[in-house]
Amino acid sequence: MANARRESRWAGAHVWDVPAHLVPIEGARRGVLRITRDASVAETLHSGMAREAAIGFTADVIHLPAIAQAELPPNLVPGLVRIAWDGGSPDGRIPELLRVGACLDLAPSDGALDALVECSEGGVMCRLVDLAAWTTAPEALASSLEHYLTSPRLEAPIEPWHSIARGIASRRPRDLSGTYDETLRRNYWLGEDGSVSLSERHATGGLVFGRLEDGPEGWQQSPAWRALEARRRQPFLRRSTCAFCPHYLWCGAYAADDAGSPDPAWCGVWIPLFERLQEAADIAWAEAGEGEPEEYPG
Ligand code: SF4
């Protein structure tokens, strides 16, 4: 019995993106649940205790005033609030974005760069979302990086550039999967229908581990889980381009197929950006008198 109980609990940090109905705040689209103690994610969700562990949620920008004025549940630990940009000008919204500790999630479209510049210079953290779509807008993607690297008025991080830059500076690699909460065994995404996947991107792609009640043991037996585990190994088993790519530490074969082969369209856009970031980091190191950063462990 003791063993069964231990097996049903996972220690460590887990991030869940849970349905909005578990986060009773007007405008919330998804809850982000972080469990850092030895707790069963399934039990936590079912017990109604989710609010105790929830540290953030995603919401529409149109609900910003309501969120800023909302009385949060007394046991909610306040954390990052991800606000989906609605395509409008953030003009006049920055104080509210700052008040709720928002991270503005920007998908590519007309006006996205202007919103990115205005918010990041106004102290609001920004994050590019839907990287596949950004890859089809390479000039805008490159401009977002140049803004991050060169703006003298930047006051807040821009993801994914900030995580990559920190990885280079600290010599602690962090790839795009880590930056976007898509790390197998660490991150989970719970659909409104109770299905469990790694992220919404993976769920949309048909990679579903099972249902909440199947638990970790069941999810790990699923074809989707095994496929994702195999995907991590494929670049090295097959000696594909990704295995020898100098940017693997930051990209992590984010857009590779099941055989571990990269998408040339992705690489053509992202490799020059990774090189630009590395170049900027090297210059910063040299100016700081630190010399060349040490090689990363292979
Ligand atoms: S940039 Fe291309 S080759 Fe390099 S790790 Fe990413 S997908 Fe693979």
Residue with CA closest to ligand 1 atom 8: 242
Q: Do the Cβ atoms of 176 and 252 come closer than 8 Å?
A: yes
- Are 160 and 249 part of one and the same domain? no
C-alpha 1 – ligand 1 centre gap (Å)? 46
Structural domain includes residue 238: yes
DSSP code at position 292:
S
Residue 73: count other Cβ atoms within 10 Å of its Cβ: 14
- Are 6 and 64 part of one and the same domain? yes
C-alpha 268 – ligand 1 centre gap (Å)? 9
Phi/psi at 59 (nearest 5 deg)?
A: -155, 165
Instruction: Locate the ligand 1 atom nearest the alpha carbon of residue 255 and give its number.
Output: 7
pLDDT tens-place values along the chain, 298 residues long: 334 444 445 556 788 888 887 777 788 888 888 876 666 777 777 666 666 666 677 888 888 887 777 777 666 666 678 899 988 888 888 998 998 888 999 999 999 999 999 999 999 999 999 999 999 999 999 999 999 999 999 999 999 999 999 888 877 888 999 999 999 988 999 998 889 999 999 999 999 999 988 888 899 999 999 999 998 888 888 888 999 999 999 999 998 888 888 999 999 999 999 999 999 987 877 777 665 555 444 3
- The total of structural domains in the chain comes to 2
- Are 240 and 173 part of one and the same domain? no
One-letter amino acid at 97 equals L
Q: Do the Cβ atoms of 80 and 56 come closer than 8 Å?
A: yes
- How far the first Cα of the chain sits from its last, in Å, is 43
Structural domain includes residue 281: yes
Structural domain includes residue 162: yes
- Are 125 and 266 part of one and the same domain? no
- Are 251 and 117 part of one and the same domain? no
Q: Do the Cβ atoms of 97 and 120 come closer than 8 Å?
A: no
pLDDT of 104: 94
C-alpha 271 – ligand 1 centre gap (Å)? 7
Taken in order 80, 86, 91, 93, the sign of the CA dihedral is negative
Tokens of 272: 């020059």
Residue 137 domain boundaries? 2-179
Instruction: Locate the ligand 1 atom nearest the alpha carbon of residue 262 and give its number.
Output: 7
C-alpha 252 – ligand 1 centre gap (Å)? 7
Alpha helices in the chain (DSSP H): 2-7, 41-46, 50-53, 64-69, 94-99, 112-121, 131-135, 138-150, 161-170, 176-179, 200-204, 215-220, 223-237, 248-251, 264-287
Residue with CA closest to ligand 1 atom 3: 242
- Using CB distances shorter than 6 Å, the residues near ligand 1 are 241-242, 245, 247-248, 251, 253, 255-256, 262, 266-267, 270-271
Burial of 128-162, coded b for 16+ CB within 10 Å and e otherwise, reads bbebeebbebeebbeebbebbbeeeebebbbbbbb
Number of H helices, E strands in the chain: 15, 10
Single out the residue in 179, 199, 234 at which a domain terminates: 179
C-alpha 54 – ligand 1 centre gap (Å)? 34
